[in-house]
Structure 1
Amino acid sequence: MIKKTHGRLGGIMIISSILLWLCLFSIQGIQSSSSSSNEAGPIVTVPKGAGPEECFQYGLDIVGNDLNNGLNDKVNSAAECVVKCQGYPGAKYFTWSSAQLADPNYRLSCWCTPDNQGTTISANTISGPLDCGGSGGTCCDTLAFTSSGWIATSKPSHILGIYNKVGMGTNGRSIYFQQGGLGHYLYFLDSLQIWFIGDSVGSNVGYASNPGTAMCPEDIAATWDAWSPNANEWLLDPMAKMNCF
């Protein structure tokens, strides 16, 4: 099993020869440890059926053009903040500060913004998108990544299978984790603006990618590509699809 670094410059993928050598050198180590050494970024693992909390990002403050003065909109919970922000036309994200926030002036404040310009680390703060709602958002909770093309019969076939939603990334898109298999992550890679399958959320070292920017993986119209060890390059697979399961 080989994972590759993905980069795009002027539409051309740039593969680092150094990382290629490192990946080839450590194939056996990856095979034996990938299922136990996955390290994810700032995601929230939630129990099944957690309702709107599955979209909450803990310890993160969403940066945007606030539609309100959160100091005047104080509520007792993040869920109440979601409801409050849904009352502001154009609001898409919220940030709520708990009663444990260091600055007493900002405790229980609720901020609403129409955009997500990034996040900053902030202890005792909860943020997230408003469209998650009580149903878990508009995206499917479970996806099936399938292919009747070359991926299915080649070494990258380990990326196929069932992916379950486990949290929310910093870009308003969900993060998924492969059920069984080698436990890969499916996430949106901000730095390259692509969907990606890899072992560590936020890394551009992995196995497959898609240039589609849809909020939900099942809505991606573009073609998936994957790293082919035999061809030593990224190859398109028009038959690879992410579908609701």
Structure 2
Amino acid sequence: MRPIFLSSVVLALFGGFEAKSAIANSKAKPIAGEKACIEANTDISGNNVNDGLSTKFYSMNECIDYCKRTTGANYFVWSDQTFFDPNYQYTCWCKANKVDTSVSYGTFSGPLGCAPEANCCLNILVQSSGSLAGSGQAHILGYYTKISEGEDGHPVYQQTTQLKHFLFYRSNIKNWFVNDAMGVNQGYALNSGAETCITDSTGMWEYYDFGVGDWVPDPTARAICVDDVPPPPEEQCNSGSLCDGCVLTLPFENTIYCCKDQCQYGWIDYDPNNSPMCTCGV
């Protein structure tokens, strides 16, 4: 069965931010199917056994490992950089118990027993020196971290940059996909390998080229293991009311952006496909 290309891929070519926004409207649910116990967009209320604001954790697995070493912890709650409050982005809360759950976009949570069990790498880098790197789908390249187990024991990864793409395996057609949503036979790019670990895959990487209306192979693309995932670049801009009084501003998607350090002169650029998305200079 050949993967289906839908309009979500078009959004990636002309603005991955719009494609990303579709995730924010989803209800809290297991992120790797019914058998998964790690839930996306879900907060756990319970007794904290640590100060989650004291240390930043730039991957969920780092948070899980930390809580497993924390006395009295049985659950974890981790927020990525899509969480609405910057002060709580990349925070890790270890919980002694689970009283209730609530919807919280950009938050992942679950019992510590949900830590990934496969021997695949926790962190990977998807890279290319070929046509994919210069294409409209280059946004799928970069660092990913393992967030759960997926179909047939294949791990599920999530990109660590603002776009937060998922890399997951579909057992019904034996393909890996990179997409904003999981459990679908479509994506921005795919890998035809069936190996349990994507870094062991002998399959070809392909990406959808909207210009030619077909999948294009890139023999140079691959996923490799890395020890650590670097923290994402710090955003250089403010937005909204923080830009009041600034001369140099830039509207994007009904939001006004301005430079943090100097907003009276210079230049400002905003591109949701870059990291950081907003850049400034004088």
Q: TM-score, with normalisation over the residues of structure 2? A: 0.47
Alpha-carbon distance between aligned partners in 2 of 1:29 and 1:152, rounded to the nearest angstrom: 16
Deviation per CA, 1:55-85, whole angstroms, max 9, x where unpaired? xxxxxxxxxxxxxxxxxxxxxx9xxxxxxxx
Match for 2:220: what amino acid? M
> Hey, which bits of structure 1, 4+ residues long, moved more than 4 A?
26-30, 126-129
Calculate the aligned-residue CA RMSD, in Å.
Answer: 3.6
Does the C-alpha gap of structure 1 residues 166 and 15 become closer, same or farther in structure 2, counting only changes over 3 Å? Answer: closer
Q: 2:132 aligns with which of 141, 145, 151?
A: 151
1:168 equivalent to 2:131? Answer: no
Unmatched 5+ stretches in structure 1: 1-7, 55-76, 78-125
Alpha-carbon distance between aligned partners in 1 of 2:178 and 2:134, rounded to the nearest angstrom: 18
Unmatched 5+ stretches in structure 2: 40-59, 69-73, 75-111, 227-282
Cα offset, 1:48, TM superposition: 1.8
Cα offset, 1:49, TM superposition: 5.5
Compare relative contact order (CA 8 Å, sep 6+) and give the higher one, 1 or 2: 1
Q: Identify the residue that residue 105 of structure 1 maps to in structure 2.
A: none
Alpha-carbon distance between aligned partners in 1 of 2:169 and 2:133, rounded to the nearest angstrom: 23
The within-5 A match list for 1:14-25 is 15=4, 19=6, 24=10
Alpha-carbon distance between aligned partners in 1 of 2:14 and 2:128, rounded to the nearest angstrom: 27
Q: Identify the residue that residue 64 of structure 2 maps to in structure 1.
A: 50
Cα offset, 1:14, TM superposition: 6.3
Identity rate of aligned residues, in percent?
A: 27
Cα offset, 1:228, TM superposition: 0.8
Cα offset, 1:140, TM superposition: 0.5
SS of the counterpart of 2:124?
A: strand
1:32 equivalent to 2:17? Answer: yes
Match for 1:48: what amino acid? E
Q: Is the 8 A contact 1:187 1:201 kept in 2?
A: yes
Q: TM-score, with normalisation over the residues of structure 1? A: 0.54
Alpha-carbon distance between aligned partners in 1 of 2:204 and 2:13, rounded to the nearest angstrom: 30
Match for 2:18: what amino acid? S
Alpha-carbon distance between aligned partners in 1 of 2:167 and 2:215, rounded to the nearest angstrom: 17
The within-5 A match list for 1:125-136 is 132=117
Alpha-carbon distance between aligned partners in 1 of 2:146 and 2:194, rounded to the nearest angstrom: 18
